[in-house]
Amino acid sequence: MPSTTTTHEIELVIGKEGGGGGGQLPPVGGNGGGGEDGKKRPNRPISPGRYYTGIAIGIVSVLMFFMALASAFLVRKGGSDWVPVHIPGLLWGNTLILLASSGTLELARKRLTHSDVLGFKRFWLITTILGVAFLIGQVVAWRILVRQGIYLASNPASSFFYIFTGAHGLHLLGGVGALIYVAQRNYDKAKITRTVAAEVTSYYWHFMDALWLFLLALMYMGK
Amino acid sequence: MQFLRQAVRYEAGSGNRGEQTASKMVTYDEGGNASPSTGSGVISRVFSTRHKTIGLQYLWLSLASVLVGMALSTLLRVHTSWPDTAIPFLNGFESTPERYTAVRLLHGSLMVFFVLTAAPQLGFGNFLLPLQIGAGEMAFPTLNCLSLWLTVASLAGMTASFFQPLSRGIDLWLISAAIFSLGALFSALNFCVTIIALRTTGMTLPRMPVTVWAWFVNAILSMLIFSVLLAGCTAILSDRLLGSSFFSTAAFLAHEPQNLVRQGNLPLLWQRLFWYFAQAEVYVAMLPCFGIITHLVATFSRKPVWKERLVVLAICGLGVIGFCVWGYHMFATGMNPYAPLVFSVLASSLGIPATVLLASWLVTLWDARIRFNTSLLFAIGFISLFIAGGLSGIFLARHDLARAALSEDFVIGHFHLVMGVAATFAILAGLFFWFPKLFGCRMNETLGKTHFWLTFSGVYCIFMPMHWMGLLTQSSLLPGAQRTALASAGASVRTLVTVATIWTVGAQLLFVANFFSSLLRRKDVETDNPWGASTLEWSIASPAPPGNFGGQAPVVYRGAYELAGTLAEEFAPQHLAPELLVQKAQ
C-alpha cells in the first residue's frame, strides 16, 4: 500500500498518458486540466503516432539496406566478369500482380472508411492472395533461371539478381504476414484500431511495390 | 519541494522505501503503455519487456564484456612484450599468427559492439530515455525485448567464433555481426519512435535534455549504418557460404588505376561497405557519451549548458558529418584521386562541432562552484582524453599526413584514447551519476576516486607512448645507427606499455569491488535527487519504480538546464509548475 499523503498534493502532478507527442506547451500558471486527463482508461487505443513514425523510420532503414546493395551493384557491374542476366518475362507479369495488389489494398481501405468491414476483409484477402501469387511467381522465375543453368554462384550479375529478388521477397513475405495479422486480429481489446493497422500496413506494402519497381529497373537497365 | 516529491512518489505507488522493495505486489498502471510481461516468474523477468529491466540487462552484458575484453587486451600485451611466456588460456590453441589475430578480433568485437555501442545507448538509453521524456515505456516493448536477445545471441556467436577453426570462425562472426545489426536496427527504431511520439506534455524539442538529443541523433545514425552493415554481411556471407561473387574476384579492380592499389587484389568493395558502417560506428559509440558528459558537466557545475542550442546543433553536425566521412579510412588502399581531398576536408570539418562541444564543457565548468565527485572526475577525464585523442586525429584526417602516421601503434593509440577509453570514462561517469536511480544506493566515493586516478594515469601511460612508437616505426629518414638506438629505446617503451596495461586492468578490480559492495550493502540514498538535477528521472523515487510516473505522466514547464531564478545555483525541476517554484523560493 502506498503511504498516506494528502490528496490535494497529488493534483499538482498533471497527468496525461504517454503518446501525446510532446508538441504542445503546458498551461502556464495553473495546475489546470490535471483531473480529467489523469483518469485511468484501460484498453483505450493509444495514440497512433508511434505506428506511423515507426513504419516511416522502418522504411528508411529497409531502403538503406537496398541502397547499399544497389550501390554495390553499380560499382560491380563495370567488371570484366559481368555476364548480364536475361530477366525472365514472367517477372513483368509478377510486377503487374504486385501493382494490382496495391490497388486492391487501397480499395480495401476505402471500404473501411465506409465502415464496410466485410468488404474490407474481402479486398484485403484478395491483396494477400495477390501478394502470395507474386512470391510464387518469383520462385517460378528462379526455377526458370536455374533451368537455364544460371545459379547464384554463376557470375556477379546472377548473384545480384538472386540477392535482390530474394531480399525483396523476404521483405514482402513479412508484408504478407502483416496482412494476415491485420485481417485476423481481434481489435476489441487491442491498443491499435483496424484503420490505423490497415494504414500502417498499406504504407509498407506500397513501399515494397515501389522498391520492386526500382530494383527491376536497376536490373533491367543496369545490365 | 519535499512534499511535492512525496506527492509524486505517492503517485508512483511507492511511498516509502520498504514498499519499493515489495513493489511486485502493487499493480501499477503504466499509462496505457503497460508492458505485457508483468508476471513474477523467472522467464517473464528474464524476457521482460520493461525498459528499465532491459536497460539493466544491457548494462550487465556490457560489464561482462568489458571484463573479458580487458583480460584479452592484457594477454595481447603480455604476448607482445614477452612472446615466450606461456599464457594459460591460449595454451590449448595452436600458436599461430591467426590465433593472435583472433584474440584481437574478439577483444575488438566485445569492446566495440557490446560495451561502446551497448552501454551508453542501449543500456543507459533504455533505462533513462522514457524517464527523461516522461513516458511510461518505450514505444514498442516487445521489439525492445527482441533487440536485447538478438544482442545476446550475437555476443554468444562472436564468442563462440573464437573457438572455431579460422574459416568457420569468420563465418560465425559475420552471422553474429548481422544478428547484432538487426538488434541494433530494432533498437534504433524504438528509440526514434519513442522520442518522436512519446514525449510528455510540454517536453518540446528545445526542452529535451542533451542526453535525449544525443540518443536521438545516434538512433538515426544507427538506423542508417547498421542497414549497410547488414547488407554487407549478407553479401559477404553469400560469397562465403553460397559461392556467389559479390566481392571475391579481382576482376572489378582492373579499371582502378594500378598505382593507387597498393598490393594485390584488395576487396575494395567490401572495405567500402564496411567502413561506411565502421567509421560512423565511432560516432555511434561517442554521440551518447557527448550527451552524458554535457549533462553531467552542467549538473555538477550548477550552471546551464553553455550555448545549449549550439551544443545540440554540434551533436547533430557530428552525426551528419560522421555519416559522410567513411572514405577516410581508405587513404592507404587507393581510391579516386579526388576522393581523399573530399574526405579530408569532411573529416577535418569534424573539428568544428567537436570544438563547440569542448568549448561548451569548458565554459560551463569555468568559474563554477563545481562538486568534485567521482562522476564529474570521470567526465573531466573524458574531456582530457577527448582532447588528447582528438589532436592525434588531425594527423589521420589529413590524407597527405596519414601515410606518415599510418602505423599500427599510432592508430591504436589514437582510437583507443578518443573512442575506447574516453567512451568508457563517459560510461563510468554515467554509472556513478545514475547509480542511485538504477539501484537506489550510491557507490563509494573514496574507492571511486582512487579507481579514477589509477585508471586515468594508467591509460595515458599505455596510449601516449603508443603514438610515439607509431611515428618511430614510420620514420625512414633517420640514418641506420640512430634507428637502432631508437629501436632499443622502443623495446623498453613497449614494456612500459605492457606494465601500464596490467596496472590499469588491475585497477579495475577496485571498480568491480566498489560496484558489488555498493550493491550488496545497499545504503539507501538520503534523497531521491541526490545531485540536485532538474530532469524528470529525478522527480520520482530512487530506484525508479516499475510504473515510472505511476500512470500520470508529468508535465514539463521548462528546459532541462534552467536555474531556479532567485535561487541561484539550483536547477528548477522541469516538472515543477511556475507558481510552485515561486512558492519554493519563498
Domain boundaries, chain A: 49-221
Partners of residue B255 in chain A, C-beta under 8 Å = 78-79
- The Cα-based distances of B493 to B419, B464, B483, B500 in angstroms read 23, 10, 15, 10
Q: Which run of H or E residues covers position B570?
A: strand B567-571
Query: From residue B585, how far is each of A50, B369, B530, B564 by CA, in Å?
Result: 39, 20, 19, 8
* Residue A1 confidence (pLDDT): 35
DSSP secondary structure, A10-65, as one string: HTTS----S-S-S-SPPPTTS-TTHHHHTS--TTPPPPTHHHHHHHHHHHHHHHHH
**What size, in residues, is chain B?**
586
Instruction: Kindly report the average pLDDT of chain B as a whole number.
Output: 82
Contact flag A30-B199 (C-beta cutoff 8 Å): no
Tell me whether B260 touches chain A (CB under 8 Å).
Answer: no
In terms of pLDDT, which residue wins out, B40 or A8?
A: B40
How does the average pLDDT of chain A come out, rounded? 81
On whether the A49-221 domain is CATH 1.20.120.80, my answer is yes
Among A32-46, B325-339, B478-492, top mean pLDDT goes to B478-492
User: What is each CA distance from A210 to A99, A142, A169, B403, in whole angstroms?
Assistant: 9, 21, 13, 45
Judge whether B560 is closer than 8 Å to chain A, CB to CB: no
Please indicate whether, in this complex, the C-beta atoms of A50 and B13 are within 8 angstroms of each other. Answer: no
Rounded distance between C-alpha atoms, residue B239 and residue B245, angstroms = 6
Left if phi > 0, otherwise alpha if psi is -120 to 50, otherwise beta: which for B307?
Answer: left
* Of A23-37, A134-148, B100-114, the least confident: A23-37
Domain covering B2-13+51-245+266-585: architecture: Up-down Bundle (1.20)
Chain A residue with minimal CA distance to B225?
A64
Which of B273, B556, B578 is opposite residue A68, by nearest beta carbon?
A: B273
The CA distance from A84 to B531, in Å, is 66
Q: What is the pLDDT of residues A76-87, one digit of tens each?
A: 887 777 888 888
* Number of Cβ within a 10 Å radius of residue A163: 21
d(CA B276, CA B330) in angstroms, rounded, equals 10
Q: Which of the pair, B31 or A196, is modelled with greater confidence?
A: A196
Q: What is the pLDDT of residue B220?
A: 94
Q: Looking at residue B260, what is its pLDDT?
A: 37
Instruction: Check pLDDT > 80 for residue B221.
Output: yes
**Considering only CA atoms, which of B541, B569, B539 is closest in space to residue B557?**
B539
> Which ipTM value was assigned to this complex?
0.81
Put simply, whether A28 touches B (Cβ < 8 Å) is yes
Closest residue on chain A to B3 (Cα): A9
Contact criterion met (CB < 8 Å) for A30 and B26: no
User: What was the pLDDT predicted at B403?
Assistant: 61
Interchain contact, B578 vs A28, CB within 8 Å: yes
Residue range B152-157: average pLDDT? 97
| Confidence grade of residue B327 (pLDDT, cut at 50, 70, 90) | low
* CA nearest to A34 within chain B: B552
Q: What is the mean pLDDT of residues B9-33?
A: 36
pLDDT band at A189 (very low <50, low <70, confident <90, very high): confident
- Residue B462's CB is within 10 A of a number of other CB atoms, namely 26
B-chain CB neighbours of A162 within 8 Å are 244
Give the pLDDT confidence of B204-219 residue by residue, as tens digits.
999 999 999 999 999 9
Cβ-based contacts of A57 with chain B (< 8 Å) = 188-189, 192-193, 223
Split at pLDDT 50, 70, 90, the class of B581 is confident
At residue B341, does pLDDT exceed 60?
yes
How many whole angstroms separate alpha carbon B222 and alpha carbon A64?
Answer: 11
Q: How far is CA A5 from CA A1, B4, B133, B295, in A?
A: 12, 10, 26, 33
- In which band, very low, low, confident or very high, does the pLDDT at B508 lie, cut at 50, 70 and 90? very high
Q: Which of B198, B253, B265 to mutate to test the interface with A (most CBs of A within 10 A)?
A: B198
Three-state SS sequence of B346-408:
HHHHCHHHHHHHHHHHHHHHCCCCCCCCHHHHHHHHHHHHHHHHHHHHHHHHCHHHHHHHCCH
At residue B113, the pLDDT reads 95
CB contact under 8 A, A26 and B556: yes
Q: Is the pLDDT of residue B170 over 50?
A: yes
CA distance B358 to B308: 12
Interface touch B32/A18, C-beta < 8 Å = yes
pLDDT given at position B265: 41
Burial of B81 (0-12, 13-18, 19+ CB in 10 A): middle
Q: Quick one: pLDDT at residue B406?
A: 63
Write down the pLDDT at residue B83: 80
- Chain A, residues 56-95, CB within 8 A of chain B, namely 57-58, 60-62, 64-66, 68-69, 72, 75-76, 78-81
Sign, CA torsion B306/B309/B310/B315: positive
Answer whether A58 sits within 8 Å of B189, measured CB to CB: yes
Would you call B245 and A159 a contact, using CB atoms and an 8 Å cutoff? Answer: yes
Q: What part of A 136-175 touches B (C-beta under 8 Å)?
A: 152-153, 155-156, 159-160, 162-163, 167
